[in-house]
Structure 1
Amino acid sequence: MHMELRACNIEDLDDLRELSIRTYSETFGAMNTEANMKEYLDRVFNRDVLSEELMNGDSKFFFLYIDNKLAGYLKLNEYMAQTDINDSESIELERIYVKKEFQGSGCGSFLIEKAIDLALESRKKYIWLGVWENNAKALGFYKRNGFYQFGQHSFVMGDDEQTDYVLRKDLLFQ
């Protein structure tokens, strides 16, 4: 199985939008109401919002291909593009999503490694992310990859205010 990461650009907008909606729905659809999912997907993954994010120099999207098939994506934020901490010595891993059919094949580990490599190249001291407190699978994955909880924040999903744990992994660079 060959895995490859490719940086996204504005020409990828429609594919990114479709992939975002699909992977987010596969991951969280069964755990949230249909109305809350619709509100969130319409608000966060609409063309205008994604276009603005793609054009922001402090946000970077990367498509994951497995054997030339689009399998998932990664979104990293620096500086003021970060959703919370806004620490210039950190990079935020805002999104890491893999299509259901590719889960369990090492994609998540590959994406984490690439995110860490990119953070190290930028000489960041740590990488951080928010993960829903009820997403046991993701929490276990991040802990296995050296992340630890150092805070929490609210995450609004329609009319449901949820809690995200804020996790961090400290980086060592030469």
Structure 2
Amino acid sequence: MTIGTITIQKLALADADVLLALSKKTFFDFFGHLNKPEDIEAYASVAFTPQKIQAELSNPNSHFYFAISNGEITGYLKLNYGPAQTEFQDPNAVEIERIYVLAEHHGKKIGHQFIDFTLKEAAGKNLQYVWLGVWEHNQKAIAFYEKHGFEVFSSHEFALGSDKQTDLLMRKAILSSSKPKA
């Protein structure tokens, strides 16, 4: 599906190696300099393994997508439905668990297009809201989500190695796409 200037392509199990490399790169690029190396390595040793990525790709309630621009993968998105959601498992919601764009592609509105895509997917499935967790110190991401109408509604603890961090939970209601009957 083409949204804006990118093509959004759903991943298959065969994409596991590319997704694993992209996941590691984006995570280390964004958070490596903000956290202790031992905490980043401890988290990565569990979160970014071939087995973990294959299991996530095999889950029918989790959907991964690449953003592709001019034939190049520029980022990825992970959506969780129902029991795959990390917190609520709400059948009336979808969770954005991961949304990452390679640093060299920032400013190209790829994140915006991922959000638009997610909102369209949620509306098409008649879901009530989209939610996500974002690190409380990631002010740029928080501002990005607020710009798209997400609001903080709770928080939870996130373990990055031995560092207990706080993620803000944000959500956005989905407007019904159905028109009232005359």
Q: Same fold per TM (> 0.5)?
A: yes
Task: Tell me how far 1:71 sits from its aligned partner.
Answer: 0.3
For 1:122 and 1:86, the matched residues in 2 are separated by 15
One-letter identity of the residue aligned with 1:109: H
Residues 14-57 of structure 1, C-alpha deviations (whole Å, 9 max, x = no match): 00000000011111111111111111111111111110110000
The correspondence for 1:14, drawn from 13, 17, 31, is: 17
For 1:156 and 1:65, the matched residues in 2 are separated by 31
Q: TM-score, normalised by structure 1?
A: 0.98
Residues 36-83 of structure 1, C-alpha deviations (whole Å, 9 max, x = no match): 111111111111111011000000000001111100000000111000
For 1:78 and 1:112, the matched residues in 2 are separated by 16
Report the secondary structure of 1:142's partner residue. helix
For 1:52 and 1:20, the matched residues in 2 are separated by 14
Kept after mapping to 2: 8 A contact 1:146/1:169 = yes
For 2:126 and 2:169, the matched residues in 1 are separated by 21
Kindly, what percent of the aligned residue pairs are identical? 36
Could you say which residue in structure 2 is the equivalent of 1:31?
A: 34
The structure with the largest alpha-carbon Rg is: 2
The correspondence for 2:127, drawn from 124, 127, 132, is: 124
Could you say which residue in structure 2 is the equivalent of 1:110?
A: 113
For 2:171 and 2:5, the matched residues in 1 are separated by 29
For 2:36 and 2:57, the matched residues in 1 are separated by 29
For 1:160 and 1:30, the matched residues in 2 are separated by 14
The correspondence for 1:157, drawn from 143, 156, 160, is: 160
Q: Which runs of 5+ in 2 are unaligned?
A: none
Q: TM-score, normalised by structure 2?
A: 0.94
Kept after mapping to 2: 8 A contact 1:2/1:67 = no
Task: Tell me how far 1:2 sits from its aligned partner.
Answer: 3.5
For 2:45 and 2:124, the matched residues in 1 are separated by 34
Aligned length: 174
